[in-house]
């Protein structure tokens, strides 16, 4: 059985390829190049720890049939036998009553969770680089068979293309807020690791009960799944090391909303019709 599935989502739509980054910089790397870079880096490090690992790449509602296996960069990464390429066709999205032209990050992550084959699942993003140190800790986690915890890194370090540090944000910051200090919700969409059974049976995936804006980028749904895990008795645990976040532009309008509450997803969450490429 595969020990660990790493879930990421995206599509070839040029996200973050233009405009200035939050650090007032330009980056020559495209979204698809960043995805290729992180898949290859993270797979190599995890395999070096003797983890039986699978990468699940959810290709959400491709624009004009531009699936990721057709891009000059991502097609290289997808050729790895450890990568499972899951395509969500636009018609599958439309059937659910959603806008097939919009990118629904968290609904796509639900598809990745449902289509993962690992005992453990690590949900992350295509701009996140793992380090050797944090992969040692991931290996320790997946070899314990502990079903009572979910895991977050010590921090997320924003870096430029050359991995120079730009800023650091902590997963469990001292803010006086329960969701921050105890649950570790800040930027949890970048990294949350727990057993697949916890994602499926305890958390019940990311929230599909809230009607998000059909024309804006989904955001703020990452904290709700943490709350669901905690309320179901899955305890937070902090890894000692950090993940790296590759800097890029963030041009899209975001659909902010209050999502820090428990929810019960419909039974069909994450179960869109897909193509396994």
Question: Can you spell out the DSSP letters for 195-255?
Answer: EHHIIIIII-SS--SS---TTSEE-S-HHHHHHHHHHTTPEEEE-SSEEEEE-----S-EE
pLDDT value at residue 56: 98
Q: What is the CATH number of the domain that holds 131?
A: 3.90.550.10
- Checking if the pLDDT of 81 tops 80, the result is yes
Q: What does the pLDDT look like over 265-276, one tens digit per residue?
A: 999 999 999 999
- Checking if the pLDDT of 259 tops 70, the result is no
Q: What does the pLDDT look like over 152-206, one tens digit per residue?
A: 999 999 999 999 999 999 999 999 999 999 999 999 999 999 999 999 999 999 9
Q: What does the pLDDT look like over 232-249, one tens digit per residue?
A: 999 999 999 999 999 999
Q: In terms of Cα–Cα distance, which of 71, 54, 53 is closest to 62?
A: 71
Q: What does the pLDDT look like over 127-161, one tens digit per residue?
A: 999 999 999 999 999 998 788 999 999 999 999 99
Q: Distance between CA atoms of 24 and 49, rounded to whole angstroms?
A: 37
- Checking if the pLDDT of 75 tops 90, the result is yes
pLDDT value at residue 261: 83
Q: Distance between CA atoms of 190 and 103, rounded to whole angstroms?
A: 17
pLDDT value at residue 258: 59
Q: What is the mean pLDDT of residues 74-93?
A: 98
> Quick one: what percent of the chain has pLDDT higher than 70?
99
Q: Which two tokens stand for residue 11?
A: 């599509």
- Checking if the pLDDT of 1 tops 70, the result is yes
Q: In terms of Cα–Cα distance, which of 136, 146, 140, 243 is closest to 189?
A: 243
Q: What does the pLDDT look like over 89-112, one tens digit per residue?
A: 999 999 999 999 999 999 999 999
**β-pair partners for 54:** 5
129 neighbors 246 (Cβ within 8 angstroms): yes
- Checking if the pLDDT of 117 tops 70, the result is yes
Give the total number of structural domains in the chain.
Answer: 1
pLDDT value at residue 26: 86
Q: What is the mean pLDDT of residues 214-218?
A: 88
> Quick one: what percent of the chain has pLDDT higher than 90?
84
pLDDT value at residue 146: 82
13 — pLDDT class (breaks 50, 70, 90) = very high
Q: How far is CA 46 from the centre of its chain?
A: 16
* Complete edge-to-edge strand list for the sheet that includes strand 155-159: 128-129, 242-246, 155-159, 165-170
- Checking if the pLDDT of 212 tops 90, the result is no
Mean of the per-residue pLDDT values of the chain? 95
pLDDT value at residue 156: 98
Q: In terms of Cα–Cα distance, which of 104, 165, 157 is closest to 134?
A: 157
Q: Is 151 exposed, middle or buried (0-12, 13-18, 19+ CB in 10 A)?
A: buried
109 neighbors 9 (Cβ within 8 angstroms): yes
pLDDT value at residue 254: 80
Domain coverage including residue 254: 4-276
């Amino acid at each position: 059985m595969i020990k660990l599935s790493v879930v990421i989502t995206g599509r070839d739509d040029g996200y973050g390829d233009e405009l200035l980054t939050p650090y007032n910089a330009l980056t020559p790397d495209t979204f698809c190049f960043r995805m290729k870079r992180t898949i290859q880096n993270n797979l190599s490090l995890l395999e070096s720890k003797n983890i039986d690992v699978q990468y699940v790449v959810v290709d959400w509602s491709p624009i004009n049939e531009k699936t990721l296996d057709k891009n000059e960069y991502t097609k290289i990464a997808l050729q790895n036998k450890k990568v499972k390429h899951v395509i969500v066709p636009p018609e599958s999205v439309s059937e659910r009553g959603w806008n097939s032209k919009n990118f629904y990050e968290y609904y796509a992550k639900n598809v990745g969770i449902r289509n993962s084959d690992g005992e453990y699942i690590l949900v992350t993003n295509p701009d996140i680089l793992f380090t050797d140190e944090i992969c040692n800790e991931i290996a320790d986690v997946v070899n314990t068979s502990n079903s009572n915890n979910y895991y977050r890194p010590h921090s997320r370090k924003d870096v430029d293309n050359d991995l120079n540090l730009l800023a650091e944000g902590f997963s469990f910051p001292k803010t006086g807020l329960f969701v921050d200090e105890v649950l570790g919700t800040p930027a949890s969409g970048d990294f949350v690791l727990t057993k697949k059974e916890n994602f499926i049976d305890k958390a019940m995936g990311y929230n599909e009960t809230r009607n998000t804006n059909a024309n804006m980028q989904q955001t703020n749904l990452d904290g709700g799944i943490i709350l669901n895990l905690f309320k179901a008795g899955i305890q937070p645990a902090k890894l000692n090391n950090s993940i790296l976040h590759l800097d890029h532009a963030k041009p899209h309008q975001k659909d902010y909303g209050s999502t820090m509450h428990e929810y019960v997803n419909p039974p069909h969450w994450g179960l869109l019709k897909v193509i396994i490429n």
